[in-house]
Chain A
Amino acid sequence: MTSRTSAETRPSKTGAPLIRMERVRKEFGRDIVAVSDMSLTIERGDFISFLGPSGCGKSTALRMIAGLLPITAGHIDIAPSQTDTEHDLGFVFQEPTLMPWATVFENVWLPLRLAGLSRTAASDRVRAALVEVGLSRFENAYPRELSGGMKMRVSIARGLVTRPRILLMDEPFAALDEMTRTKLNNDVIRLATEHDLTVIFVTHSVYEAVYLSNRIAVMAARPGRVVADLTVNAPWPRGEEYRVSPEFSAEAKRVSTILKGTLDDADIDH
């Protein structure tokens, strides 16, 4: 508990590999190589960002980790769970991806409902998840009655309701305004800390990647691959003080420089 200040020693970070990707390749049809030779070991407690230009295979990689896409070659291992959570993985999409015909409560209930829990059996956990994202008063609202940021919170609550170990987020805040995005960034940090989550966060914002993560996997396109694996030198957990600190600017600048260098080397056209 005393070592909470360093990125290298996030509380739950044990150094134990949780997700191991080895020479993963994904082809669509004959000609499109979306991901090529991607190797990456993600440790328990990591907050890793996939950072790269549009079309470099970030979503594809994430969907393969989630088991939503078959892998063409290579393999992905996820260490078996120690606890008895119903579901190991939470996934937050770029769009809120809510069912418009269902209330906020029913949307968050969905993962538990599919696992066979009745409304009453699930209600405590659904309500707890809604409290965590600050939407307890909106459980009977329909998605269309919520703002973009609130919809995203519902989506996050749904991702967390199964108490997963791993949370995969695919550019979750790309469509939001800067202020909402900042707030949600802080919420994600808080939730990741409280729930001991291992997070893979896809983004194409250097600032967001630096603010949130302790590791950044820089990806380049054609074919999609990891061209750099950076460690972010910053305290954990982070808050608004960090965002306005000179350290943050310096770190963002450092990552930008590396990013530009590696992408130039990778010789991509974007």
Chain B
Amino acid sequence: MTPTSTIDDSAQEAPPPVNMAALARARRQRILAWVLPVATIALAVGLWEFLVWYHEVPHYLIPAPSLIWSTLLAEGPSLMQSAWFTVRLTFFSLALAIIGGVVLGALFALSRPVEMSLFPFAVILQVTPIVAIAPLILIYVHNTFTALLICAWLVAFFPILSNTVVGLRSTDHNLRDLFSLYRATPWQRLRHLLSPSALPYFMAALKIAGGLSLIGAVVAEFVAGATGTNTGLASRIIESSFRNEIPKMFAALVLVSLMGVAIFLMTSLASKLVLGRWHESEIKRET
């Protein structure tokens, strides 16, 4: 005779029938999540256009959205070239920030002495305003793109570094024991335990660093005050300001904002793809 086998009955039951009303509500929520922001932005732009027209605001003070749009079209090729420069700068610096932050973060997490000796440098670089360091970097580094890259990298890399360290350190201690019990190799530990535990922290840092790398790229270029053809959107803004071309300033500004939004959407999407099924921050609560 064996003891009564009492398998959790609930565990074997079929899932409850799908609630149609709840599904419809969820779909409505999803659509609203897109419609509402688009509608408010459209409304704001419309209001802007109307107010500029109604009060006859001169275009060298505040241009109407329609004028900004036509400037964008007219100046398209030159602005696009500058935008491409800024995009490259931003993405290179973000990529370097990811590599640098993760590698250094892993080193810190592996070795306290390394952390203790190098962390002060990371903090000093982080707390010193980039506009204060940028002129020096521009003097020491002759290639402008490289100099700008270093500036943008400095701004973006710190959140990745600090979050990677915290993430690698915050693995569940029982899970650590479990891996010891089954004699995991250091590589297995890194691959199956440390990396996934650190991932939510890393993704949070990526969202911040994405925005910061764009800010770094623009600010550095402002400081550099670079002019000429092979320059980014910041230079276009400075130029237009000198020449009092306010609509063009706004056009460049719109492009910078769009880039920021695109980076935000991309990093959010990446986070959703990577963490969506398991991490609290990305799980949609059924209501």
Interface size class of A (residues with CB under 8 A): 35 or more
Contact B178 A97 (CB under 8 A): yes
B: number of interface residues (CB 8 Å): 32
Contact A68 B11 (CB under 8 A): no
Interface members, chain A 164-208 (any B CB < 8 Å): 180, 182-183, 186-187, 189-190, 193-194
What is the CA–CA distance of A162 and B278 in the complex, to the nearest angstrom?
Answer: 26
Name the contact of A239 in the complex, choosing from B3, B181, B199 (C-beta under 8 A). B3
What is the CA–CA distance of A174 and B175 in the complex, to the nearest angstrom?
Answer: 19
Contact of A153 with B by CB under 8 A: yes
Interface members, chain B 251-287 (any A CB < 8 Å): 277-280, 283
Task: With a 10 A CB-CB cut-off, give which of B174, B199, B283 has the most chain A CB atoms.
Answer: B174
Contact B11 A134 (CB under 8 A): yes
Complex interface: chain B residues within 8 A of A87 (CB): 182
Contact of A138 with B by CB under 8 A: yes
Complex interface: chain A residues within 8 A of B277 (CB): 142
Stretch at the interface among A34-42, A111-119, A221-229: A111-119
Q: A100-B278, A114-B184, A134-B8 are in contact. Are A190 and B2 (CB under 8 A)?
A: yes
Q: What string of 1s and 0s marks CB contacts (under 8 Å) between B112-134 and chain A?
A: 00000000000000000000000
What is the CA–CA distance of A135 and B2 in the complex, to the nearest angstrom?
Answer: 20
Contact of B5 with A by CB under 8 A: yes
Contact of A22 with B by CB under 8 A: no
Name the contact of B174 in the complex, choosing from A4, A95, A111, A189 (C-beta under 8 A). A95
Contact A101 B3 (CB under 8 A): no
Contact of B111 with A by CB under 8 A: no
Complex interface: chain A residues within 8 A of B1 (CB): 4, 237
Contact A91 B178 (CB under 8 A): yes
Interface members, chain A 201-251 (any B CB < 8 Å): 237-240
Interface members, chain B 166-184 (any A CB < 8 Å): 172, 174-175, 177-184
Contact A97 B180 (CB under 8 A): no
What is the CA–CA distance of A102 and B275 in the complex, to the nearest angstrom?
Answer: 11
Interface members, chain B 193-222 (any A CB < 8 Å): 193, 196, 199
What is the CA–CA distance of A237 and B5 in the complex, to the nearest angstrom?
Answer: 12
The number of A-B residue pairs with CB atoms under 8 Å apart is 94
Complex interface: chain A residues within 8 A of B179 (CB): 114
Contact of B229 with A by CB under 8 A: no
Smallest Cβ-Cβ distance to B11: which chain A residue: A134
Q: A97-B174, A138-B11, A150-B8 are in contact. Are A68 and B180 (CB under 8 A)?
A: yes
Contact A91 B181 (CB under 8 A): yes
Contact of A254 with B by CB under 8 A: no
Q: A91-B178, A97-B175, A193-B2 are in contact. Are A144 and B283 (CB under 8 A)?
A: yes
Complex interface: chain A residues within 8 A of B10 (CB): 147
Contact of B4 with A by CB under 8 A: yes
Contact B5 A186 (CB under 8 A): yes
What is the CA–CA distance of A94 and B203 in the complex, to the nearest angstrom?
Answer: 30
Contact B3 A63 (CB under 8 A): no
Contact A66 B3 (CB under 8 A): no
Complex interface: chain A residues within 8 A of B177 (CB): 63, 66, 68, 91, 93
Contact B175 A67 (CB under 8 A): no
Complex interface: chain A residues within 8 A of B6 (CB): 182-183, 186-187
What is the CA–CA distance of A87 and B3 in the complex, to the nearest angstrom?
Answer: 27
Smallest Cβ-Cβ distance to A111: which chain B residue: B182
What is the CA–CA distance of A181 and B12 in the complex, to the nearest angstrom?
Answer: 18
Contact A186 B199 (CB under 8 A): no
Contact of A73 with B by CB under 8 A: no
What is the CA–CA distance of A63 and B12 in the complex, to the nearest angstrom?
Answer: 34
What is the CA–CA distance of A213 and B182 in the complex, to the nearest angstrom?
Answer: 26
Smallest Cβ-Cβ distance to B176: which chain A residue: A68
Pick 30 A–B contacts, CB within 8 A, sort by A.
A66-B181, A68-B177, A68-B180, A91-B178, A93-B174, A93-B177, A97-B172, A97-B175, A99-B175, A99-B192, A99-B193, A100-B279, A101-B278, A110-B178, A110-B192, A114-B182, A114-B184, A134-B8, A134-B11, A134-B12, A142-B278, A143-B278, A150-B11, A183-B6, A186-B3, A186-B4, A187-B7, A193-B3, A194-B2, A237-B2
Known: A67-B181, A93-B174. 9 other contacts (CB 8 A): A93-B177, A114-B184, A133-B7, A144-B283, A162-B182, A182-B6, A187-B6, A187-B7, A237-B1
Residues of B within 8 A of A (CB): 1-8, 10-12, 172, 174-175, 177-184, 188, 192-193, 196, 199, 277-280, 283
